[in-house]
Structure 1
Amino acid sequence: MKKWLGSILFFSAVCSCNAQYKVQSAKAFFTSSMPGMQRVDANDNKIDPEPIIERFIFLETRFNGKPKIDTVWYNNILFSATIADKEEAAKMVGVKKNTGTTISLAPKKGNHFWRIDVAQADGHTLKHDAVKKIIIKGKLDKTKFSYTITTETELAAPDRY
């Protein structure tokens, strides 16, 4: 009985130690804007502008140090990721494009909040309505993590709020 109870206590202690190095939540956002001037080629033919889409993710962790992001996948397309140098505090993220409501995020007590800027590695633009699954893989200290996001929120371009 003592061995069984000791095993349970040891197992629960190991699980609680692992739980502290855990991603608590993640939210993905993007803004879409059009360039200001229409470009022309050498023969004065108009070139249709492509929208500029900026994507970023806020990651909430229960880890004191800076996470290391290995890969970010949008619908199985590899994106490059850059994580902010300093953790974020409460943050006004932006204005939701469809409703005009302000989106603010703040980490829960004891958690840490990081902004990850992502860009498509090959330079092409992934259409915003095509995003079905975002997978973030990385490390919190020596513990590997993988976190999946299934929605991405469109924000109004910064010049519109």
Structure 2
Amino acid sequence: MILASGNRVRLRTIGVRDLKAATAHRYTLSITEPMTDPDHARRALDQTGFWQPKAGACAIESLVEGDNGRLIGTLQFYGAGPGIHGLEIGYVLHSEDDRGKGYASEALRLFSDLLFAEHPECHRLQLIIETWNDASARLAEACGYASEGILRKAGYSSPDQPSDCFVYSRVRD
């Protein structure tokens, strides 16, 4: 099912054909936990379609001529955490070759608009971006997200040495 469409990308529900590529990337299907086991992902897909009222994931598909709807990444959303009135978004493009071409920015804009439209009670969307990830920070700002500060030792890079992360948000008004 198509969720949103732009000039370069289309957002759609995740299908069986996407599971091999999606489970190859640790954070692609991290709605409640990283889903790298294809069998576990298939069971979750069959049960929920990876789309529920308070958490979900969708495919980013290229619309660029010659790509034939190629899966290039995923977006996911989930509750932002206790005491935070909003949703958190994560995203990944699977291949380095697809980065820097405008796919992620268009996908994030479409997804943000979709979430605000589908969740009228939601007044805040947030991104948690590790401080070393300059490209992702620039992407957030280009998509209308404002930097709010740093969460110290909150990143996922290493459980032994968590990294600092920027918090970015976009609010409804």
TM bracket (short chain): under 0.3
Structure having the larger proportion of residues in helix: 2
Return the TM-score normalized by structure 2: 0.26
Query: Which is bigger in relative contact order (C-alpha 8 A, separation at least 6)?
Result: 1
Structure having the larger proportion of residues in strand: 1
Return the TM-score normalized by structure 1: 0.27
Of the two, which has the highest radius of gyration? Answer: 1
